A and B are shown apart, each in its own frame.
Chain A
Amino acid sequence: MNSYMWFSLFSFAICLVSCLYHFIRLIRLGKPQDFSAPLGEVGPAVMYAYTKAMDPRKKESAFLHLPTYTAGILYHLGTFLSLFLFVLFLFKTEPLGIPRWFIIGFLLLSGMSGFAIFLKRIIKKELKALSNPDDFISNILVTSVQLMTAISLYNPRFFPWYFILVSLFFLYLPLGKLKHTVYFFAARYHLGFFYGWRGVWPPK
């Protein structure tokens, strides 16, 4: 491995340790304590929270904003794909042939989705008012990683820049809203617990 790869591995380790810290802290804090008598069951409600409650047909944040929702889905898929490829790259493995072109195409699409979301945040007055520098930086980093992954797969000359960029991404992740990588799962759990305890979820 060259020095860029080592640095990215080091950054990844810091990111992983930080995320684990947040995750373990949440696990140790445990389930909410509720002295009231439950009306429903928490287990099925938590399962519902992770699955059917995310159905875009049920959420106004999705079906009232289909283009943004679709861009967001593509963007997240692109992020997961990029992270998977990072691990492959560390092992000096790359996709070849048709899958390589497919992945490049997909990452360009997901990167453009991220860019569209970025533009929306600048152009839409209310969204801009809601935003702080972290919102923009997070988007720039994630979008850049996806696009740079695609570019590096197309032309391996760009791999050093890729590893620098991905290192910045890993070092930044624990600092700002990108931490929702960990907290999203906890939020869904707590939501399931709350609605399950009160017999609201799953719907009767």
Chain B
Amino acid sequence: MEKLTKEKIQQGLEVLNGSADGKLITHLNSCVHCGLCAESCVYYLADPQAKYIPAAKVDIVSSIYRRYHTLAGKLAPGLVGARTLDERTIEEMVDLLFGACTMCGRCVPHCSIGVDISYVIKKGREMLAKTGYVPKTLQTTINAALETGNNMGISDQEFTDTLKWLEEDLQFEVNDNSATIPLNERGREILYTLNPREPKFFPLSISAMAKVFWAAKESWTLSTQMYDVTNYAYYSGNFDEAAVITRRLYDEMHHLEAKSCILAECGHGSRAFRWEGPNYIKNSFPFEVSTSVELMAKYIREGKIQVDPNKITELVTLHDPCNLARTGGIWKEQRYILNNSVQNFVEMTPKGIDNLCCGGGGGQLAMSEYNDRRMKIGELKAEQIRKTGAKIVATPCHNCVDQLSQLNITYKLGVQIKTLAEIVADALVIE
């Protein structure tokens, strides 16, 4: 661990200066240590230790706030459990806030008081970013995005080559030589984004969405300059870097003069751009932002595409990405899509905004040092899946796809993991 200098301490403490932030001081002053949030946390459920209780994670941040910003914390720190920001505290913060929380927010609506626990965790990560203690594995992913324009470091050549063969594949599949995957076209209705995992590992999910766009006769384009929907700086707490990444997509929207930005199936990506992005750059977006989930639901509802549920007869269940459902308000649309696209749909329990996190969020997939914990908490999700008896798990998030795929192998679930675009593409009626 690098040495914690006085300057770094000051930068970290500045994050907790709530003199202009009513939300921050509210949540730092609200927790009563009742501990009743414990069973709402997947980390605690998987491994019932006191440190994994959400209140304990809040406390490591609020204890520092009490030390430097409250009368009792300054005069009698031991009385109120106030902590000094030093290397020992930082070490504990890194372990708890990066290594033992996906910021899924499941604990928040269940908190007795209403503490926005994940907001406090985010603030704690912001402190760690300011003091230079973001896990190197996570920072590497962010650096790739900053340096190359996408978090997988995919070169322009590799990207365009992939799209070229996907386009040929699409033309063959739909028997239409005019079917395209447009690149860098100006003035289209939609600029579509991708999770870089798609061109790297799951290219068929790109062609699936391209097929849906073709069936809907949509005016759309991809950008080779900026197509990455993800923003891992949302996870790291370095909001300067998050703003840089946001600004690139924002600028590309203007450059290509697209009317709306459709975010690919990515929980944190949709949250980071749609909800956090305008606040990173302190500017409202003059264009519409929506998710591919909402778009596909709209296509089906308006009859722009026809789907036949009898094409998919296996039992399908749905994993709700936390950042899309619980904190993004999108949970009815995916159900509408599935109820129209598959013959047999079964819900997990709990579901929707109360769903259990799969364990892949919060940057966990990038932080290999916490793999064991990630797979352990994922067992809860595996058990949920097993109980449904489903053969296909649909999820509108590529990080979740990655995590669920690993859980599928580790816990021998014997299921297929699919995005909603793949489900809809398979169910499409092509005339």
Interface residues of A (CB under 8 A from B): 22, 25-26, 29-30, 32-37, 39-40, 49, 53, 58-62, 64-65, 68-69, 72, 124-127, 129-135, 137, 175-177, 179-180, 183-184, 186-188, 190-191, 194-195, 198-200, 203-204
Contact = CB atoms under 8 A, between A and B. Distances in A.
B113 A184 contact: yes
B114 A49 contact: yes
A25 B19 CA distance: 9
B27 A126 contact: no
A200 B282 contact: no
A126 B34 CA distance: 11
B298 interface: no
B402 interface: no
Interface in B14-57: 20-23, 25-27, 29-40, 48-51, 53, 55-56
A87 to B, nearest CB: 25
Interface stretch (B152-160, B273-281, B366-374): B273-281
A60 B356 CA distance: 13
17 contacts: A26-B25, A36-B285, A37-B284, A39-B329, A53-B114, A60-B36, A60-B39, A60-B40, A61-B111, A130-B53, A134-B80, A177-B33, A180-B30, A190-B23, A198-B327, A198-B328, A203-B353
Contacts of A62: 36, 112
Contacts of A130: 33, 35, 50, 53, 55-56, 59
B301 interface: no
B38 A191 contact: no
Nearest to A179: B29
A100 to B, nearest CB: 31
A126 B116 contact: no
Given A35-B283, A61-B40, A26 B22 contact: yes
Given A126-B50, A130-B50, A184-B114, A200 B326 contact: yes
A36 B281 CA distance: 11
Contacts of A204: 332
A61 B49 CA distance: 17
A191 B338 CA distance: 30
Contact of B79 (A58, A127, A134, A194): A134
B115 interface: yes
A188 B109 CA distance: 10
B1 interface: no
B72 interface: yes
B78 interface: yes
B279 A60 contact: no
A46 B38 CA distance: 25
B112 A133 contact: no
B71 A131 contact: no
B35 to A, nearest CB: 5
A34 B283 CA distance: 9
Contacts of A129: 50-51, 56
Given A37-B284, A129-B50, A175 B21 contact: no
Ranked nearest first, the 3 interchain pairs of A and B with the lowest CB-CB distance are: A132-B81, A29-B22, A199-B329
Contacts of B328: 198, 200
A190 B50 contact: no
Contacts of B119: 194
Contact of A187 (B21, B27, B33, B284): B27
Contacts of A26: 22, 25-26
Contacts, number: 165
Nearest to B48: A126
Contacts of B281: 35
* B22, B26, B276, B328 pick with most chain A CB within 10 angstroms: B26
A54 to B, nearest CB: 9
A133 B66 CA distance: 14
A39 B275 CA distance: 10
B277 to A, nearest CB: 7
Given A36-B284, A130-B59, A190 B116 contact: yes
A147 to B, nearest CB: 20
Contact of A29 (B21, B37, B56): B21
Contacts of B35: 124, 126-127, 130
Contacts of A127: 33, 35, 50
Given A126-B48, A194-B116, A59 B22 contact: no
Contacts of A200: 326-329, 353
A183 B277 CA distance: 28
Contacts of B25: 25-26, 29
A194 B275 CA distance: 10
B34 A180 contact: no
Interface string B329-358: 100100000000000000000000100000
B284 A191 contact: no
B30 A61 contact: no
B289 A187 contact: no
Given A37-B285, A133-B81, A198-B327, A60 B29 contact: no
A204 B285 CA distance: 26
A30 B22 CA distance: 7
Given A35-B283, A177-B33, A187-B30, 16 more contacts: A32-B22, A34-B279, A37-B284, A68-B36, A69-B36, A72-B34, A124-B35, A130-B59, A132-B33, A137-B79, A175-B79, A187-B26, A188-B114, A190-B23, A199-B329, A200-B326
A202 B353 CA distance: 12
B8 interface: no
By CB atoms of chain A within 10 A, which of B30, B55, B283 has the most?
A: B30
Contacts of B30: 180, 183-184, 186-187
B22 A186 contact: yes
Interface string B72-105: 1000001111000000000000000000000000
B275 A187 contact: no
